[in-house]
Chains A and B, each alone.
Chain A
Amino acid sequence: MSDRMNRRDFLKKTSAATLAAMAASFPASSFLSGCEPGIESSADTVILLWMAGGMAHTETFDPKAYTPFEKGLESNRVLSTFPKIPTAVDDLYFSEGLESIADIIDRGTVIRSYRAADMGHILHSRHQYHWHTCYEPPQTVDVPHIGAWIARERGPINPVIPPFVSIGQRFDVGESEELKAYHTAGFLGSEYGPFLIPDPSSGLDSVRPPVGMSIERFERRHQLYRDLVEQSPVGERSSDYQKESMMRAMERSYALLKSPDAEAFDLSQEPKETYQAYNTGRFGLGCLLAKRLTEAGARFINVTTEYEPFMGWDTHENGHTRAVKMKQMIDRPIAQLIKDLEQSGRLERTLIVLASEFSRDMMVEGRPGQKVQDQVEVPDVMEDISNYGMHRHFTDGCSLLMFGGGIKKGLVYGKTADERPCSTIEKQVGIDEIHQTIYHAMGISPETNYVIEGRPFYTTPDGHGEAIHELFI
């Protein structure tokens, strides 16, 4: 449907005056671009650092009063299990364990007022689906990931680097079908879908000739293919788009697999010190790969701490101990990524977003006033350190970070209460606003839509939400 009435009808309706001017040999593009002036972009690439499983804001970027563990401690007394640390911005404090990010937060903005959707009984993958697509599942059509929209609207920078790359998620863990349901270009077509790299250190394998095949053999094989296609007596008379696009895709794939640019995927090319600076495991190396792919020309790069039920940030027990480990995993590489991009001058045009599907709290499941089934037993009084931590899912106040791409430096946006429930109390934002902000930075109009089954489908539901203009320089 979407193709059905574009050019032909458009030309028919173009006015005589315009045609007269066109005939006078003006560049046609000035007439075809429509009346809406486009938004000016402030970023060319987005890196989403995904804190999978629900990162507690009170344990990370929005610390509250610290209560150290002791036997017999009342659970509801605990707001944060870490002391505060100062940051590069005056009067801005983070949680202990995030010293490196604290040092560079003067290059970015902290949003402390994100409120996740309320969708009844918590299912992580459902909230993740919502965060990444802006639509609550299920939907009547296959909804695209934000990376697919961006890949489609902005296109590849470098023809051999896939515009949308997703790093770090394996799909044989729990809730895998739900994870797959949003790692998709949906109705935009698989061309804009994610290029999946579960393990950043073997990403190169996906963009090189098959493992064990020499380059000579690879070239010979492709030449044989070309020769045999050339000689085929079938279908040679008429052209058809499937055959042609099939052959075009083959040539593109051949070019990519042979291209020196594909070395962007090769982490072993990094100097040893750089590699070590990032290497806190797969997430850290994912950040390093994101840096290389940004330089090589990717459009949207997702690096996840990886979602696996009850693992990572999904702390149902031992929350404090595990938060220590998670911070060790993310702190250094994220700070390094910001510094490296700044040094290479790319931070200006690269928007980095750190986010999670929701936050966590020790007592409140979901949000205050909503009846949501508790998924974890929390004792009134703690007997063991394993009880000490944020073990319930909290949707009412979450933190995000944004760096680069035209975002203000050193800004703190929004506020949560200092007492339980630590809910958003100022400048609340939802997923619609976050998406529109990212699209805005990428110069993608809020009116952007795709016509499917005869109706327009917008990047956010019915085009709702406005970019948070205050965040931009």
Chain B
Amino acid sequence: METVPHPETQSAKTPERLAYSVQEAADLLGVNYFSVYRLVQRGKLKVCRALRGKLLVPRDELLKLLKSE
């Protein structure tokens, strides 16, 4: 089941999000923060880092995780 907002449900003027913060990822997956960091620690959820080092979860990785579930 895909819970990441589908592009068609977003405003036509809003470009599709490429990545989400951990907070957003937790909300989209329906889990708490610690579960997301647990997924990151075990490499089940691959993340990248923004300029100041903040973790970003690529949309594709979220979709991949949801599909593998």
A binds B: no
